[in-house]
Amino acid sequence: AKGIGKGTVKVYQEMMTTSRRSSLTLESLLREAIDSRKLEVYLQPKIHLGSGAVHGAEVLARWTTDDNERIAPDVFIPLAEEAGLMRRLTDCIMVKACDALNQIAPYVPDSFRLAVNISASELANEHLLASLRRVLEEFDLTPSRFEIELTETALIDVELKILVDLKKAGFTLALDDFGTGYSSLSYLNRLPIDTLKIDKSFVANIPLEQSSTNLTRSIIRIARDMGCSVVAEGVENSEQHLFLESENCQLAQGYLYSKPLPLSEFIEFISS
Ligand code: C2E
Ligand code: CA
Ligand code: CA
Ligand code: CA
């Protein structure tokens, strides 16, 4: 065998050092951004398909570094997960979400809920409910003003008690990206879920592509049978809107109505 020359090894080692250094740098920047509460929340309205009224909004985390570089959630959320920063990130996002809700409150009915994304690791954390409560109390808010968005994968190992306790506290629970996981319906039916969110990969292909269209129809029916409300995410055009409306989907979210907005623009959106 030829073996690897010393030169190759050296190059490889340098590459490793560089890539390790860059992810370490990003990680320490993220840690700093979380601790100094530099993460922002953007809000995306959820719309009643029938009336066009704003029903609530989803909270989406945003990070711009001091160098003015925007890092996508699909990058920094997994990084926070790997680095063990999820608990602090969730705390930071909840603080910002509560502050936002208090500023929105004058413009919306009491039924308006803010939906926050909670990751699988956080859901499995027995301290979750206590830390959510602590933040809410600080802002004089009750869990009844919030919905928790969970993915099907987050439910695989979760104890039913955690979900029941969140519900008892007053949170509602939504299943995000519904249809992309592998949970059985009989299992889901035993969980205290309030809302199903139709994944945007299906919505993207309605009403022209047959299988996504059928799946969307099925999810709307499943939601009805389970006594859940249903939200279509990623609605971008009026064909999708009209189809969903004709299928009696109640709620929708997507660029057609509004992209996720910083608080001031969100307040403009709901008060105009
Ligand atoms: P998600 O929870 O499924 O959020 C929906 C994503 O779709 C968001 O991407 C949103 O900006 C985007 N979106 C909204 N309307 C449309 C549309 O009409 N078309 C298309 N193509 N996309 C649309 P974003 O903000 O980049 O977030 C990506 C993912 O990062 C989220 O997916 C969620 O899993 C995660 N994430 C974001 N914020 C948080 C957070 O505070 N905590 C946790 N644990 N995860 C978060
Ligand atoms: Ca979500
Ligand atoms: Ca989703
Ligand atoms: Ca997603």
For a ligand 1 pocket test, name from 117, 178, 180 the mutation site with the most ligand atoms within 8 angstroms of its C-beta: 117
Alpha carbons 75 and 113: distance in angstroms, whole number? 27
For 41, half-sphere exposure in the C-beta direction (CA atoms, 13 angstrom radius) is 25
60 C-alpha vs ligand 1 centroid, how far in Å? 6
pTM for the full model?
0.92
107 C-alpha vs ligand 2 centroid, how far in Å? 23
Token digits of residue 145: 């003003």
What is the maximum span of the chain, computed from C-alpha positions, in angstroms? 74
H/E element holding 148? strand 146-151
Which of these, 233, 179, 247, lies nearest to 203 by C-alpha position? 233
Q: For position 180, what pLDDT does the model report?
A: 86
Token digits of residue 12: 């490889």
17 C-alpha vs ligand 1 centroid, how far in Å? 32
Q: Which residue has the higher pLDDT, 6 or 44?
A: 44
Asked whether 119 and 81 are in contact (CB, 8 A), the reply is yes
The 10s digit of each residue's pLDDT in 46-59 is: 999 999 999 999 99
Q: For position 13, what pLDDT does the model report?
A: 58
Q: Is the pLDDT of residue 22 over 90?
A: no
CB atoms within 10 A of CB 129: 16
Global ipTM: 0.97
Size of the chain in residues = 272
Question: What percent of the chain stands above pLDDT 90?
Answer: 82
One-letter amino acid for residue 272 of the chain = S
Q: For 15-24, 72-81, 82-91, 99-108, which range has the lowest pLDDT when averaged over its residues?
A: 15-24
The strand pair at 70-71 and 40-48 is best described as: unpaired
Token digits of residue 40: 């922002």
Which ligand 1 atom lies nearest to the CA of residue 80?
44
Cα torsion through 87, 93, 95, 98, rounded to 10? -130
For the chain, give me the number of helices (H) and strands (E)? 12, 9
Q: For ligand 1, say whether the CB of 117 is within 6 Å of any of its atoms.
A: yes
Cα torsion through 207, 209, 215, 218, rounded to 10? 40
Asked whether 203 and 235 are in contact (CB, 8 A), the reply is yes
107 C-alpha vs ligand 3 centroid, how far in Å? 26
Alpha carbons 234 and 158: distance in angstroms, whole number? 27
Q: For 77-81, 108-112, 137-141, 186-190, which range has the lowest pLDDT when averaged over its residues?
A: 186-190
Q: For ligand 1, say whether the CB of 255 is within 6 Å of any of its atoms.
A: yes
